[in-house]
Amino acid sequence: MTALERKPHVITIAGAGSARVPALVGTLVNYKERFPLSKIIFYDIDRERMGLMEAYDRLVLKCFYPECEVVFTTDEDEAYSQTDFVFCQMRVGKTAMRSLDEKIPLRYGLVGQETCGPGGFAYGMRSLGAMKHMVEKVRSYSKDTWILNYTNPAAIVALGLDKMFPDDKRILNLCDQPYSLMKSFAKILGVPQDILRARYFGLNHFGWFTALKDTEGKDYFDQLRTYLRDHDFKPFNAEQRAKSWLDTYVRVNKYMKYFDEYIPTTYLQYYMFPEEIVEESDPHYTRADESRDTREKEVFEACAKAEGKDSMDRADMLVNSVFGNLMVEVAESIAYDLNHEFIVLVRNEGIIDNFEEDAIVEVAGTIGKDGAKGYPFGPIGPFYKGLMQGQYAYELLTVEAFMEQDYTKALQALTLNRTVVDPSKAKAVLDDLMEANKEYWYLK
Ligand code: G6P
Ligand code: MN
């Protein structure tokens, strides 16, 4: 199929007040031949926040995508009633709640992270409520609309949506971290990213790379493992990353000093080295503050420059978004049934053959018109299986706690989480999180 034959689509950006959206818009412009659009609906419940970027989003589209209709709305019916793809990156409770997710656990000497540990639990409970509502709303209009979800914690959201909508084949949960790590591997190896093919297994934010080859079959995995044994691991875009992110990469090196069979995702460290991470954390200034003071500030400032303008330089368009590229490439692969390779989140069903059938696993696979398919992986060793089983039980109990409003299940979930372990700490942090989240969720 040539680009000319590609039928244009309508997309809805749900959570258009996210500071990640302007770079997504730039990516949509850059991909317009590959994934042409006839209309973009920007939707957020917070008009003011979405408004901080509206002039910029409109200007970019007016200058570089004049054929694409643009709508900004706070009305969910307008957002969802006629759309082909929902690109969802909502953050329920915004940065203020992220900040509490990170700071409350630190009061008890526990890891304060938005997707891992107690913070991820609290965020998961918030996200599940809003995501359930969104899926119901979208489906009240159409069973065909694709829901591409980037809302975190993807592990909890993906499992929860699978439990609540088990027959829905058009919800796809995405995480850009494996994709981002592959960009970093490519830079280290000095090869283009698009020739690299990885094998990977795990749960979201809890997995390992097990192989890396190029399209010709040349194997780079040992070279990379050897490199990571005695060189600091740096993200491909290290100069744009804040210190806290760089630290997470270097801790991959630390993990590999103990276990160098596979290369872990950066997120595994929260479960491996929780004490060291807590010790290095500032309980009054966490990643939520840092991202607000850096990325968010820069994006809002760049967007403010568009106010009152009616032309712009293409060089001033925000791009370079791993998240944006992933979302658009996934949508393209679905829309035109390309079956491109990605690292996907799918129901296990035998992909990892000695692991729970119903778990949502993260593995290499393809994406096409029927959604994501994982490549069969085979069995995993006892170390990985043991770690994943504990983490999966945590995920499942979290989802069940949400669906049944069950306090005991929540307490069991947190006790199982490797960042917590002690039930008395689990209870203390759960009670504080429940109080802080009372507008969003409640357990009996
Ligand atoms: C990666 C992860 C996402 C996470 C993001 C946080 O991209 O895959 O799940 O949301 O990092 O980034 P931030 O810069 O907001 O801390
Ligand atoms: Mn992620």
Q: What is the pLDDT of residue 230?
A: 87
Residue nearest to atom 13 of ligand 1 (CA): 291
pLDDT at site 278:
98
Please tell me the distance between residue 400's alpha carbon and the centre of ligand 1 in angstroms: 25
What ligand is nearest to the CA atom of residue 179? Answer: 1
Helix (H, G, I), strand (E, B) or coil at 358: coil
As beta bridge partners, residue 70 has 40
Return the residue matching tokens 């290290």. 238
Distance 67 CA to ligand 2 centre (A): 33
Confidence of residue 24 (pLDDT cuts 50, 70, 90): very high
In this predicted structure, the answer to whether residue 3 has a pLDDT above a threshold of 60 is no
Split at pLDDT 50, 70, 90, the class of 22 is: very high
Residue with CA closest to ligand 1 atom 12: 291
Dump pLDDT digits (tens) for 181-222: 999 999 999 999 999 999 999 999 999 999 999 999 999 999
Tell me the CB-side half-sphere exposure of residue 144, using CA atoms within 13 A: 8
**pLDDT at site 4:** 58
pLDDT at residue number 233: 97
266 lines ligand 1 (CB under 6 A): no
For ligand 1, whether the C-beta of 176 sits within 6 Å is yes
Among all bound ligands, the one having the nearest atom to the CA of 296 is 1
Q: Which of 177, 182, 204, 322 to mutate to test the pocket of ligand 1 (most atoms within 8 A of CB)?
A: 177
pLDDT band (50, 70, 90) for residue 84: very high
Residue nearest to atom 8 of ligand 1 (CA): 177
The proportion of the chain whose per-residue pLDDT surpasses 70, expressed as a percent, equals 99
Q: Is 287 in the pocket of ligand 1 (CB under 6 A)?
A: yes
Neighbours of 2 (CB within 10 A): 6
Give the mutation target among 101, 115, 267, 325 for probing the ligand 1 site: most ligand atoms within 8 A of CB. 115
How much distance in Å is there from the Cα of 180 to the middle of ligand 2?
10
Q: What is the mean pLDDT of residues 103-131?
A: 98
With cut-offs at 50, 70 and 90, classify the pLDDT of residue 86: very high
**CA angle at 155 for the pair 93 and 365, rounded to the nearest 5°:** 135
What's the rounded mean pLDDT across residues 145-165?
98
Ligand 1 in contact with 151 (CB < 6 A)?
A: no
Buried b (16+ CB within 10 A) or exposed e, 161-171: bbbbbeeeebb
Give the pLDDT band of residue 63 (cuts 50, 70, 90): very high
Q: What is the mean pLDDT of the chain?
A: 97
Q: How large is the average pLDDT for residues 67-93?
A: 98
CA distance 238 to 60: 27
- Given a cut of 90, whether residue 320 has pLDDT beyond it is no
Instruction: Tell me, using a 6 A CB cutoff, whether residue 91 lines ligand 1.
Output: no
**Residue 226: in which H helix or E strand, if any?**
helix 221-230
Regarding the beta carbon of 116 and ligand 1, being less than 6 Å apart is answered: no
Are the CB atoms for 112 and 427 separated by under 8 Å?
A: no
Q: What average pLDDT does range 2-22 have in this prediction?
A: 91
Q: Which residue of 152, 292, 297 sits with most ligand 1 atoms within 8 Å of its CB, as the best mutation to test the pocket?
A: 152
The answer, yes or no, to whether any atom of ligand 1 lies below 6 A from the CB of 177, is yes
- In this structure, which amino acid lies at residue 25? V
157 pocket-lining for ligand 1 (C-beta < 6 Å)? no
Q: Is 342 exposed, middle or buried (0-12, 13-18, 19+ CB in 10 A)?
A: buried
The residues that are catalytic are 176, 267
E-assigned strands of 75-124?
85-88
Q: What is the dihedral of CA 53, 176, 94, 122, to 10 degrees?
A: 170
Q: What share of the chain is helix, strand, coil (3-state, %, to 5)?
A: 50, 15, 30
Pairing of strands 85-88, 206-214: unpaired
β pairing state of 146-149 and 85-88: parallel
With a cut of 90, say whether residue 5 has pLDDT above it.
Answer: no
pLDDT, one tens digit per residue, over 335-386 is 999 999 999 999 999 999 999 999 999 999 999 999 999 999 999 999 999 9
pLDDT in tens, 229-267: 889 999 999 999 999 999 999 999 999 999 999 999 999
Q: Is the pLDDT of residue 313 over 60?
A: yes
